[in-house]
Structure 1
């Protein structure tokens, strides 16, 4: 199944197209922590951090953002088409500084993502480590990292040879060590993340869980019980999660398995998922209140989390859950371009999100797919 990023970030297709309880002394002097629900916010469009664009920052510091989106933040900084350079490197640093100065930024991780859901090029994935490291050398000295940490290198790649994924992750781990030994970065100031894709890839998942700090699980379902009867319970989000924790992560439900990575569940908000949009994306649920939008999404995710650990209905103990999942950002939603429409018409109108005017129309189309 192709993700929405394939359709939104590939012009030939239809446009090609999240943690850790870090107790860092440097973070304690920042503005207060965000006290709302801890959804992560994933932005695929690079325009949200380039050229001084503050749309994402303004959302995060709005009352609505502080009520719902207190989890980690993800920004796409490069892909297979520009793996050797980061566009507007000065603005990337400026965005990181501005994010860390937000009220409620606390010690949330700012993940900087390399994406490849089309070319599937593991060599470029590994080579991007050098690009990211060079940016840090050029713009982020040991004093600056203390002002913007924690940050992270995040890989959002799909269908890449798992051994090439392993090589890239090991190189990124080596980069983290070099940053500490050569530049004096504090331990934990730069983290590593990679996605667990929806297509079966047990070997690649094993490497992600072993070598990263955070695993971003692409869990693309939007229902537990479908009132229309169109989609069956055996394919709902609870059962899809079970598949991810057994077939995809073969050791995840074993009591003696304690991976290095903690899992953040990422769900989809795009209305342009193509075939299957009606069951894959939360765009399809645009009703008022708890019937749609962010409230429906949050309720589905928290109910899934409850069922997973239920002694009768579930398939894991609370202790196993704690060993696998990230309590600070349990859920993240892709993509901000769409998810910002989930908070009601009065909100998106007040924020000037003109694209959201077509959200309900697009949601209706999504439901038919």
Structure 2
């Protein structure tokens, strides 16, 4: 699945192996970047009139300047993602090596991770199908809207423009899928480590409930120094993997979040314009616009949901290690106690999280912030153009 996503990125123009390609391949990619910049600039210039919304019974048209700026941001987003793929190719190699080594290690050592990874593949396939349907519906919406409103101006060139526009939007969508996949993989790594820690805690609680004679008869060691060292090594590797992911994708994630917010604002704005102006013949396209609105929201927030799962699992690991340490603290002379103290300190000092910046972490707390800002921009845009 990971290698399939890498191939899909390359098809969409995101070459994360740029630094390690031959001179001819690099020249071809640079030529493609320049050609795409010229193409999207021309398409944006040629298609600005599609955002002129006619008022019923009048030749007057509303020209939403903010809407045009946001439309340009969609094109800019796809182009910037391609540039970031080239610029961060060395950082990506370090991250990809780290996450794949963790994947193969957990796959060979843990049956729990092996079972969950199968479920994870199905989840990623569903996410890819969801985004593919979204792209198809957006293409049909743009094409049918043109046919319905201005059939006399339909040309083959228009469909080429729409295809290029959807192609660039697909790049942005694919990045959301890729980021969701990587963050969710780290989540399952954490869940596997937490499962082994929780198993020890449960086994210790079960043994403590038995009588002294029964415990003496069992005479089995629940927790070993080897287990503690393994947990510490895996946790450090996960922390390092998250830092490499943040170094490679942090700027791009912030930009993708901004572009997704733009899609949210433009979708809400368009629907409100149709409803408030009272263009009843556009009811079909307003209903499709509702789907596009829902799609725009979920395409961005898949990554935020994955980041919140990561934070939740990190909190569970902290609780499990703290519980284990508190139960073992009754044996201060035991060699495992010192290892547990170090592990508890490691978990608390180095949280596993995806950082946009030093102060902004990927999580659900971003949703109300984005929603409130988006609502403010929609209201300002509607008032500016005298729609409300």
Q: TM-score, normalised by structure 2?
A: 0.25
The structure having more radius of gyration, on CA atoms, is 2
More strand by percentage: 1
More helix by percentage: 2
Determine which structure has greater relative contact order: mean sequence separation of CA pairs < 8 Å that are 6+ residues apart, divided by chain length: 2
